[in-house]
Copies of this chain bind each other. A is one copy, B any other.
């Protein structure tokens, strides 16, 4: 086999960048999280792996609610700043954004982000250093200007970005390379 084993620290490429919003004792807080994804269609659920030491984890555990906001490529610097600074060490990240609320009491969202999900915790899985928050998505907030003709969020309008590790680089979304559950119909290799 031509492959080489580079060890246990393998990653998925690329990983979506989000800002997770939670209410802490100090107020609303936002933390960059790339270790997150949908995990079930119905009821709609996502899961996020987050180090237990984060101030955000305590807020989510206390209230059982949080938000997941997708920053755009225009928000790379402020998103990264949120990762370099900690509410636990006194940073007030809510001052950087227009904080808005939806249907939940404790899921602070960022008005400047093109899309935000409101989430209610379904289960917390203890992974060791991290905990996995498995949560129901209860609402999806976006703006009309980010929707395509079918009423779906359009990634070319929202312009989210992704992360690769351990090289620690951010990437825009590139060109469309196919249509899912469609492209394979023309595949003749089988």
Segment 1-43 of A: residues with Cβ below 8 Å from B: 1-16, 18, 34-43
Whether B175 lies near A172 (C-beta < 8 A) is yes
CA distance A77 to B162 in the complex (A): 23
Whether A40 lies near B128 (C-beta < 8 A) is yes
Distance (Å) between the CB of A88 and the closest chain B CB?
A: 16
State the interface size on chain A (CB cutoff 8 A). Answer: 115
Whether A46 lies near B77 (C-beta < 8 A) is no
Whether A134 lies near B142 (C-beta < 8 A) is no
Instruction: Given A38-B35, A77-B187, A154-B167, check contact A139 B7 (CB 8 Å).
Output: yes
CA distance A96 to B7 in the complex (A): 27
Contact of A15 among B8, B16, B116, B170 (CB under 8 A): B16
The verdict on A121 contacting chain B, using a C-beta distance below 8 Å, is no
Chain B residue contacts of A44, Cβ below 8 A: 8-10
Whether A6 lies near B184 (C-beta < 8 A) is no
Whether B14 lies near A16 (C-beta < 8 A) is yes
CA distance A141 to B7 in the complex (A): 8
Q: Which of A18, A48, A79, A184 has the most CB of B within 10 A?
A: A184
List 19 additional contacts besides A76-B183, A125-B134, A161-B178; criterion CB under 8 Å: A1-B111, A3-B116, A6-B142, A8-B140, A13-B16, A14-B155, A16-B37, A39-B47, A40-B128, A77-B183, A80-B183, A81-B189, A153-B164, A165-B180, A168-B179, A170-B177, A171-B173, A171-B175, A174-B175
- A-B contact list, 16 entries, CB within 8 Å: A5-B102, A8-B43, A8-B44, A11-B153, A14-B155, A15-B38, A35-B40, A38-B49, A39-B49, A45-B128, A80-B184, A81-B185, A125-B132, A148-B167, A150-B167, A171-B174
